[in-house]
A and B are shown apart, each in its own frame.
Chain A
């Protein structure tokens, strides 16, 4: 075999990889488009249903907080105003070293409460439980720092009274009707064990008293690119898997769970870097092992807004953590891979995640290295490199365009035409530099997982919109 043969064979490998990943994404697009269409048709019916009835299921909202002094009061005030007939808020102060607890006590008149606390899922010891003198549905669980959001979430789950548990980030901005939108899945199908919704980027938007007042695109380039990324990830990434009951992740920023199932599977894994994905994979695994019918669903409604990193340092940390979490989650639930009774999860979703999402950065970075090496060795003409680069960019732009189109036909959150054109521009620009950079960071995440790195609470520099002062 000559060097030229190896060169040709390698080209075919990369081409096959590109065709595979993009066929996968395009299939998801088609499934997502059909799913969103069906969802919107029935959504009108639900809207007209008299909105609330005694049949709405009570929900416990768990808000894990570690050093959230800057935004916790605004978040809790906003969440107390959620449009839902019966819900409670359980804020978990995970041993904050700032004045998060003191602020909560002062702002809401929290009093020590003799809670008969029971630890059904593991977490660090609870120091005290407080109950608001002003809001009967607000409690604060003060616990020792467990080192992770998962540990804090578990303490909240232990304190919950209601059959559904919604876990939200303390810095998330929720749509006022978010609970009503997600509970619909539990009402429609009683085998539903978990539901996620679309998370959108809050940077650039106007948030007043914890609620979204005006949606707009951010001015920061990195945040702008993430708007397009989130559209892709949620509108067809998640929506493409949900109709075939193969959703592998529900964002940690907002997820609703059937509490008994959550407890049954052991709650959040405090050792997991991507505790949100690990939980969903574990739910799939245990439900399948027990041969129980279940559904894990995604609703495409924008239910939650979150701050995206606006600097390279924070963004890198996030991407490295996500990739680390992906590797760890798949490894911890590896018995799902090609499991005989695993259905679409075992035979479609996990292989796709394994080959294209987990190992994707290796292929992508190897591709860049290969092209550069070949060019230096004179094995590849620059026009040919340009053709492959063109194909890769064109496919990237096509996928982003498709996500923007889905957004336009469904939720239409960016009403100004200028914003629509900006999204298209970003869909093109992100392919030059940003995409390559994230591929390198993801590769680093993969290496970190391989080496067995540890995880701690991570914080990002916030945009001004979500602080208590705004």
Chain B
């Protein structure tokens, strides 16, 4: 067959087709072999991992519960090939415990020689290896690695930099927030869930001051971005910020973000003014804020907002009216019945139905 293929006097397109077919067939066979190889490697790894985890899970758990066990219990040896699985298991346990248990796990890790292994892994090129090393050194509170991890914090690689930020918070939260918080607006590639996680880890006491400074020096765009995380700041700081921003800013996006922060009696006169703002989403947030403030004198204003041309403003105003603590079901129905605007009345009816009053 092959002899025929290569000896026949085919024209150029047919010859091209022959060579293409041969090339493609070889590529397909290589892919097939590679995929099967992957499957075999995966099965072997999976068996190995199950055995390793079965052996080490109990040891790690016992060490987390008892300082004595962490210091003196006998440990089996582990091979280089098992290091990754072992580190993953240790890190997973570290993520679920705190206090003395974490200290015990660090003791165990020191006995196992994990700090030296993690430091060596930090110099490797493979991303997953590096990430595991950073996470481990963070859980170990390894101060010696601060400089190396701090350098990775500035990496363009998103997972690398965000993992470094979390590890630095693990090592020294106070020092870390001073470095990380000013970077938040510059690193929009950091997933917001991750940012909120490390801010929560550091705690509002440590985060408040650098966050306040970052907000004061932010331009409107940065400000709106930062205000998403402000719930993780101490409430006194939030109130001051909200009042200040509502008084000083003209930017609708900033005003909206600031109005979302209002939970008490902050800046009420200014909210009343914002209820007539030309931008509908500012009016909508003002309606919500008036509901949270919950003062009787705002009822009339909220009723007027039921006639707003924008659906969302009417909807939020209706929800705010229904949530006012001084109005009972009968009073709410009377308010609904006195609405002369059909849209406002419909909206209030919907809001009443949402809380089961219709």
Note all chain B residues with C-beta closer than 8 A to A54. 196, 231
Please determine whether B35 and A114 come into contact, CB atoms closer than 8 angstroms. Answer: no
Please determine whether B158 and A114 come into contact, CB atoms closer than 8 angstroms. Answer: no
A397 interface residue (CB < 8 Å to B): yes
Which one of A116, A188, A391, A408 has the greatest number of beta carbons of chain B within 10 Å?
A116
Partner of A15, one of B17, B31, B228: B17
B301 interface residue (CB < 8 Å to A): no
Note all chain B residues with C-beta closer than 8 A to A408. 35, 38-39
B73 interface residue (CB < 8 Å to A): no
Partner of A412, one of B10, B42, B128, B159: B42
Number of interface residues of A (CB under 8 A): 48
B315 interface residue (CB < 8 Å to A): yes
Please determine whether A401 and B31 come into contact, CB atoms closer than 8 angstroms. Answer: yes
- State whether A397 and B28 are in contact (beta carbons under 8 Å apart), knowing that A412-B42, A417-B39, A420-B35 are contacts in the complex: yes
Bound Cα distance from A56 to B196, whole angstroms: 11
Please determine whether A45 and B162 come into contact, CB atoms closer than 8 angstroms. Answer: yes
Q: How many A-B residue pairs have CB under 8 A?
A: 126
Q: How far is the CB of B189 from chain A (nearest CB, A)?
A: 8
Bound Cα distance from A42 to B162, whole angstroms: 11
Bound Cα distance from A408 to B38, whole angstroms: 8
Note all chain A residues with C-beta closer than 8 A to B50. none
B346 interface residue (CB < 8 Å to A): yes
A402 interface residue (CB < 8 Å to B): yes
Which one of A11, A44, A114, A409 has the greatest number of beta carbons of chain B within 10 Å?
A114
Note all chain B residues with C-beta closer than 8 A to A53. 192-193, 196-197
Give chain A's interface residues, CB within 8 Å of chain B. Answer: 8, 11-12, 15, 19, 41-42, 44-46, 48-50, 52-56, 113-116, 118, 131, 184, 187-188, 190, 383-384, 387-388, 390-391, 394-395, 397-398, 401-402, 404-405, 408-409, 412, 417, 420, 424
Please determine whether B18 and A50 come into contact, CB atoms closer than 8 angstroms. Answer: no
The stretch of B51-59, B107-115, B236-244, B347-355 that contacts the partner chain: B347-355
Main secondary structure of the interface of A (DSSP, over half): helix
Please determine whether A114 and B31 come into contact, CB atoms closer than 8 angstroms. Answer: no
Give chain B's interface residues, CB within 8 Å of chain A. Answer: 4, 8, 10-11, 13-14, 16-18, 20-21, 24-25, 27-28, 31-32, 34-36, 38-39, 42, 95, 127-128, 131, 158-159, 162-163, 188-189, 191-194, 196-197, 200, 228, 231, 311, 314-315, 343, 346-347, 349-350, 353-354, 358
- State whether A384 and B35 are in contact (beta carbons under 8 Å apart), knowing that A41-B128, A49-B194, A53-B193 are contacts in the complex: no
- State whether A394 and B32 are in contact (beta carbons under 8 Å apart), knowing that A41-B128, A184-B191, A384-B14 are contacts in the complex: no
Note all chain A residues with C-beta closer than 8 A to B24. 391, 394-395, 397-398
Bound Cα distance from A387 to B25, whole angstroms: 13
Partner of B95, one of A48, A113, A131, A394: A48
Please determine whether A118 and B311 come into contact, CB atoms closer than 8 angstroms. Answer: yes
**Given A391-B18, A394-B21, A408-B35, 20 new contacts (CB under 8 A):** A15-B13, A15-B17, A41-B159, A42-B159, A45-B159, A50-B193, A50-B200, A56-B193, A116-B349, A131-B353, A131-B354, A187-B193, A383-B4, A383-B8, A395-B24, A398-B27, A405-B34, A405-B38, A409-B38, A424-B32
Bound Cα distance from A56 to B10, whole angstroms: 63
- State whether A49 and B193 are in contact (beta carbons under 8 Å apart), knowing that A387-B18, A391-B17 are contacts in the complex: yes
Nearest 3 CB-CB pairings of A with B: A394-B24, A11-B13, A391-B21
- State whether A187 and B191 are in contact (beta carbons under 8 Å apart), knowing that A11-B13, A15-B16 are contacts in the complex: yes
Bound Cα distance from A335 to B193, whole angstroms: 39
> Can you identify 25 A-B contacts, CB atoms within 8 angstroms?
A19-B20, A44-B159, A45-B191, A46-B191, A46-B193, A46-B194, A52-B193, A53-B193, A113-B353, A116-B314, A116-B315, A116-B346, A116-B350, A384-B14, A387-B10, A387-B21, A391-B18, A391-B20, A398-B31, A401-B28, A402-B31, A404-B35, A408-B38, A408-B39, A424-B32
Bound Cα distance from A87 to B194, whole angstroms: 21
Bound Cα distance from A401 to B8, whole angstroms: 31
Bound Cα distance from A55 to B14, whole angstroms: 60
Note all chain A residues with C-beta closer than 8 A to B193. 46, 49-50, 52-53, 55-56, 187
Please determine whether B28 and A398 come into contact, CB atoms closer than 8 angstroms. Answer: yes
Please determine whether B353 and A45 come into contact, CB atoms closer than 8 angstroms. Answer: no
Please determine whether B14 and A45 come into contact, CB atoms closer than 8 angstroms. Answer: no
Bound Cα distance from A420 to B43, whole angstroms: 13
Please determine whether B31 and A116 come into contact, CB atoms closer than 8 angstroms. Answer: no
Q: How far is the CB of B227 from chain A (nearest CB, A)?
A: 12
Closest B residue to A131 by beta carbon equals B353
